[in-house]
Structure 1
Amino acid sequence: MNRFVIADPQLCIGCNTCMAACSEAHRQQGLQAEPRLVVMRSAEESAPQMCHQCEDAPCATVCPVNAIRREDEAIVLNESLCIGCKLCAIACPFGAITLSGSKPLDIPVDVCTSLAAPPPRPPRGVSPLLDWQPGIRAVAVKCDLCSFRPEGPACIDTCPTGAIVMVSDDALAKAAARKRQLTAMPKACNWQLPAVTEGEHE
C-alpha cells in the first residue's frame, strides 16, 4: 500500500496553514510554489483535498513521458519531465492534480520594441485546465509527501490542530492492533463481585 496523507474534518479549522506550508516548502526546493492541497469548506466543516496516492495511479498510467512514477511507497511527479499536456489532471478522479506555471526569470514582464506589437493580455482565469498565459509553461503539480524533507510532509508539521496525519502500513497495523486490544478488554474484565450474604454488609 502506498503511504498517503489524510485530514480529519472534525479537527480542521480551515486556517489554510497547510497550504501556506506546502507552498513555502516546495518553493524553497526550487519547485512550483502552487500548494499541493486545497482546503475545501462546507457550511459545517472544512478539510484539505489532497492526493490519495492511488495504488493503480491513473495519472501515472496516462502520462506520455513517464513523469509520474511510484517511488518510496508514493506516487511522485517529476516537474522537470512534465510537458504540460494536462492528461494527469484530467485522469485524476479526486481532482488532486492542478497546473501551475513559470516563466524565465531574466525576461521582463512587458518586452516590447518598436518592431514588435505588444503581447496580448492574459485571458481571464477560468480553470487550471483551460487557462493559458503567453510565455508561461504549464507544469502539473501534485502531492509528493515532501519526499525532500527528512521530517516528512510540511502540512502535518504545521497543522495547529493535528488534523492531518500520515497513513501507512505501519500506522494501519498499529491501529488494528489497538482496536483488537480495546475489543478484548471487556472480555478480560468480565468478572463478578462475590455474592454478599445477609448480614455481611453490616
Structure 2
Amino acid sequence: MKSFVIADPQKCIGCTTCMAACSDVHKKEGLQSHPRLTVVRHKDATAPVMCRHCEDAPCATVCPVAAITKHEDRISLNETQCVGCTLCSVACPFGAIAFDGSRPVAMANSYDTYIPSTPRSSNPSTSNPVVFGQDILAWEPGVKSIAVKCDLCNFREQGPACVEMCPTQAIMLVDEEKAARSRQNKREDAASVSQNISMEQ
C-alpha cells in the first residue's frame, strides 16, 4: 500500500498554513517553492487537493522520461529529470500535479542562496521580460517549467510538513498501519451494530 496525506474538510478552516509550510520546507531543500497541495473551497467546505500516491500511478505510467517512479510507499518525482511535457498532470485523476517555473534541484543547489521560482516560465532563452497583453512573463536563464508533486517530504524525519503544521489537525498521513486499524474499527462497529439488531429481535 502507498502512503498518502488526506484532509478532513470538516476540520479544515482554509487557512492555507499547509501550503505555506510545504513551500517553505521544499524551498530550503533546494526544490521548487511551489506548494505540493492547493486549498480549494466548495460551497461552505474547504480542503486541500493533494496527491494520493495511487497504486497504479497513471502519472508514472505516462511519463516519457521516467521522471516519476514507484517506490515501496510513495510515488516520487525527479525534478531534474522532468522535461515539462505535462502528461502527468493530464493523467492525474485528482488534479494534484501542477507545473511551475523553477530551477531543477541539481542547479538550485549550486547557488549559495535560493532563487525563487518564476511562475509559468518555460523558455530560458532570454532574461528580459516579455509582454503578452497584460501578462509579464519574466524569463530567467536556466529556469524551465517542471512538475510539482507531493513527495511526502521524504527528506524530513518528521514526515510531511503539512501534517505537522496544520493548526486544526485536519491533515493526516495514511499508511498501512493506520489503514489496517481503520479497517479493524469498521469491522468491530459493523459487528456491534449486527449484535444490537439481533438482541432487539
TM range (shorter): 0.7 to 0.9
Counterpart position of 1:180: 187
Structure 2 CA distance, aligned partners of 1:47 and 1:120? 35
Residue 49 (structure 1) shift = 0.4
Structure 1 CA distance, aligned partners of 2:93 and 2:154? 23
Equivalent position SS for 2:99: strand
Counterpart position of 1:54: 54
Counterpart position of 1:78: 78
Equivalent pairs counted in the alignment come to 179
Structure 2 CA distance, aligned partners of 1:67 and 1:18? 25
Structure 1 CA distance, aligned partners of 2:140 and 2:84? 14
| Residues 36-185 of structure 1 aligned to structure 2 (within 5 Å) | 36-102=36-102, 119-123=128-132, 133=139, 135=141, 136-185=143-192
Moved over 2 A (4+): 102-106, 117-120, 122-125, 131-136, 178-188
**For structure 1, which segment, 145-154 or 133-142, has the greater mean C-alpha deviation from structure 2 after superposition?**
133-142
Q: 1:149 to 1:122 in 2, by over 3 A?
A: farther
Structure 2 CA distance, aligned partners of 1:132 and 1:48? 29
Residue 102 (structure 1) shift = 2.3
Q: 1:122 to 1:49 in 2, by over 3 A?
A: farther
Equivalent position SS for 2:31: coil
Q: 1:142 to 1:181 in 2, by over 3 A?
A: same
Q: 1:142 to 1:118 in 2, by over 3 A?
A: closer
Q: What is the identity, as a one-letter code, of the residue corresponding to 2:18? A: C
Length-normalised TM-score, structure 2: 0.77
More strand by share: 2
Aligned CA RMSD, in angstroms, stands at 2.9
Q: 1:25 to 1:120 in 2, by over 3 A?
A: closer
Structure 2 CA distance, aligned partners of 1:15 and 1:51? 19
- Contact (CA 8 Å) 2:53, 2:74: kept in 1 or not? yes
Identity %: 51
- Contact (CA 8 Å) 1:25, 1:154: kept in 2 or not? yes
Structure 1 residue ranges without an equivalent (≥5): 107-116, 126-130, 192-202
More helix by share: 2
Counterpart position of 1:11: 11
| Bigger Rg over Cα | 1
